[in-house]
Homo-oligomer: A and B are copies of this chain.
Amino acid sequence: MTKIKITLPDGSAREYAKGITAGEIAFSIGKRLGEDALVAKVNGKLKDLFVPINEDSTLQILTFRDKEGLEVFRHSTAHLLAQAVIELFPDAKLTIGPLVEEGFYYDFDIAHHFTPEDMERIGQGMHEIVKKDYKVERIELTESEAKKLFKDNPYKIELVEEFHKEKQPLSAYRQGDFIDLCRGPHIPSTGKIKAFKLTKISSAYWHGDQTKQQLQRIYGISFPDKSMLEQHLKLIEEAEKRDHRKLGKELEWFNFFEESPGAPFFYPKGAVIYNQLLNFIRAEYKKRGYQEVITPLLYDKSLWVTSGHWEHFREHMFTLESEGREFAIKPMNCPSHLLIYKSKSRSYKDLPLRIADFAPLHRNELSGTLAGLTRVRKMSQDDAHIFVALEQIEGEISRVLDFTNFIYKKVFDFDFEVELSTKPEKFMGKIEDWEKAENSLKHALENNKIKYKIKEGEGAFYGPKIDFHIKDALGRGWQLATIQLDFQLPERFDATYVGADNAKHSVVMIHRALLGSLERFIGILVEHYAGKLPLWLAPVQARILTVADRFEKYANKIKEEFDENNLRVEVDARTESVGYKVREAQAQKIPLILTVGEKEESKGAVALRTIDNKVYFDVKVDNLLDKVF
């Protein structure tokens, strides 16, 4: 029997009989891997587990934990759905069933309108198919075989002709009596789909074209075990409760209007959050030697040609015309800061020069991609550009990392992961400058005791960068801070400095935004804290509730004390029950609820209820001022 050599991802190699399948190899490695295996990568190509391997190959067994494993699993669930629909509604015509970010869907051409009861029955049907644990088979087809097989389905016929024209091989997958045109791969049997949920039904059109046949689309999500599905559904529910668009509107913090797509309106309370964040960053800037500037928004085309944005970013800019000149609204601040840098001759004594700017930026994003505060057309970044000499990179990056660490860890207590992206194949500048720069970044990370992964070759062509990804309270990842070295832009603008040697030198630019856009950061914070913002950011920090009318004077007296200390405090002296007033304050996500009555007034105190429902009696106002705020 001929032997073949199978090389695994860890580099180890094993010998197997020719014709062995990836599924069998998985079991030979371990029972658990055999059971979890969904699909394989043979010589870098995705293949069904049941396809025989006939030559020396590299092999990777994929499970649900691998992105491609997950995708195949969900795609197989789409087939499972289609099979159940066909069994219940034999008249339905199958069209396509691809993946989406959250699961999968399948589009059906059927005269009958699916009802919630139908969805129940379809789910039942799917469960039965899972129980039967059909083996999945792959069938290679010629064009004529395919056309014969799907002769009753004009959609599949259209697809067959399309694939044939593009010279793609044709194949179908069978499980039990069900067969569907599909290029695969698929999981080996229907029994693996232990948990799924049909989430939504909507209408669609063949090829997304409103002039074509209307279809019914069923969405779903699936997992290899029930606990994963339950966890997912809980997360979805929690995420919906925390959705910043929903909370922003309910709490009257911010909102959007159709007249200005992708551009948030911050209402008075939202503007407090915005300005608190901005002032926090400003105060740090003062300590850390940054200098704020205020710059124009509209610039002549010539500036964007110099910066390269006209060539590479034009479709993302809003452009307009005035007096025969073309202008663009700025999508980023770098060119403005280069104009400032170049407005006078700079010496090595001026470096590092740290220029900060909160200017509103505009990007002409497709309206379909806009999503609350996290994907906008108008935003302000906590943006700064630092001009340094090559030998200052390490020290300055170290300072920027300290700043980032301070914000993420000390102020917001976010977990984060860090990636260093290095020189790509196509790069600009001298190789030894890149090496120096990359080493500087590594040293700076190590000096700050920040763990990082290296993404080899994934830097921009104009310089290496460091990215921060935070995890929010629901475990969702968000890319936030970017610290980007740039050798190129200063060169395009001929930005230099005079060194101690009296000669001209190229200056290096560091682009850095630590919160990213203020808008997006606020969106993330609202969801991370489920609206219960830290005291210093809360639009209203405390509300004083009277237990009866006669304590309004005392309540107002306390409020004045808070006002003098520049705190944000309200009085609720309405003749409602305390319980009602507490519930309202809680719904408003106010961190501190202070109740005042007979006893409190006599002691110069308040009863304090925190947002986590901890209650403290007889809290002296001075103590509150000293210790809580």
Partner-B contacts on A (CB < 8 A): 255, 257-260, 263-268, 270-272, 274-275, 291-300, 302-303, 318-320, 322-323, 327, 329, 336, 339-340, 343, 355, 360, 362, 364, 366-367, 377-378
Contact = CB atoms under 8 A, between A and B. Distances in A.
Contacts of A299: 259-260
16 contacts: A255-B343, A257-B339, A259-B303, A260-B298, A260-B300, A265-B339, A266-B293, A267-B293, A271-B292, A271-B294, A274-B294, A297-B297, A297-B378, A298-B318, A318-B320, A323-B366
B319 A320 contact: yes
B259 A302 contact: yes
Contacts of A318: 298, 320, 322, 327
A296 B340 contact: no
Contact of A360 (B300, B343, B360): B360
B293 A367 contact: no
Contacts of A320: 318-320, 329
A245 to B, nearest CB: 14
Contacts of A295: 265-266
Contacts of A294: 264-266, 270-271, 274
B323 A263 contact: no
Given A320-B318, A339-B259, A362 B265 contact: no
Nearest to A266: B294
A336 B367 CA distance: 20
A478 B253 CA distance: 38
A332 to B, nearest CB: 15
A364 B271 contact: no
B263 A297 contact: yes
A308 to B, nearest CB: 15
B260 A323 contact: no
Contacts of A340: 265, 267
A327 B271 CA distance: 24
A322 B260 contact: no
Contacts of A336: 265
A266 B340 CA distance: 10
Nearest to A263: B296
A336 B271 CA distance: 15
Given A275-B292, A297-B297, A298-B329, 15 more contacts: A255-B343, A257-B339, A259-B299, A260-B299, A260-B300, A264-B294, A265-B295, A265-B339, A265-B340, A268-B291, A268-B355, A271-B291, A298-B378, A320-B329, A329-B329
A290 to B, nearest CB: 9
A428 to B, nearest CB: 24
A258 B339 CA distance: 10
A360 B303 CA distance: 21
A298 B263 contact: yes
A270 B292 CA distance: 9
Nearest to A252: B344
A385 B46 CA distance: 63
A260 to B, nearest CB: 4
Contacts of A255: 343
Nearest to A518: B294
Contacts of A264: 294, 296
A343 B255 CA distance: 9
A377 B299 CA distance: 12
A193 to B, nearest CB: 41
B296 A260 contact: yes
Q: Which of A255, A264, A294, A297 has the most CB of B within 10 A?
A: A294
Q: Which of A272, A274, A298, A378 has the most CB of B within 10 A?
A: A298
A311 to B, nearest CB: 17
A589 to B, nearest CB: 18
A322 B364 contact: yes
Nearest to A328: B320
A323 B370 CA distance: 13
Nearest to A327: B318
Contacts of A265: 293-296, 336, 339-340
Contacts of A329: 298, 320, 329
A177 to B, nearest CB: 47
A460 B258 CA distance: 31
List the 5 closest pairs (A to B, CB-CB), nearest first: A263-B296, A268-B291, A266-B294, A260-B296, A320-B320
Contact of A362 (B266, B275, B298): B298
Contacts of A296: 260, 263-265, 378
A143 to B, nearest CB: 40
A260 B257 CA distance: 29
Nearest to A330: B260
Nearest to A258: B300
Contacts of A258: 300
Nearest to A273: B294
Contacts of A364: 322
Contacts of A319: 320
A263 B298 CA distance: 8
Nearest to A255: B343
A322 B370 CA distance: 14
Contacts of A267: 293, 340
A267 B355 CA distance: 9
A295 B265 CA distance: 5
Contacts of A260: 296, 298-300, 303
A267 B343 CA distance: 11
A260 B322 CA distance: 11
Contacts of A275: 292
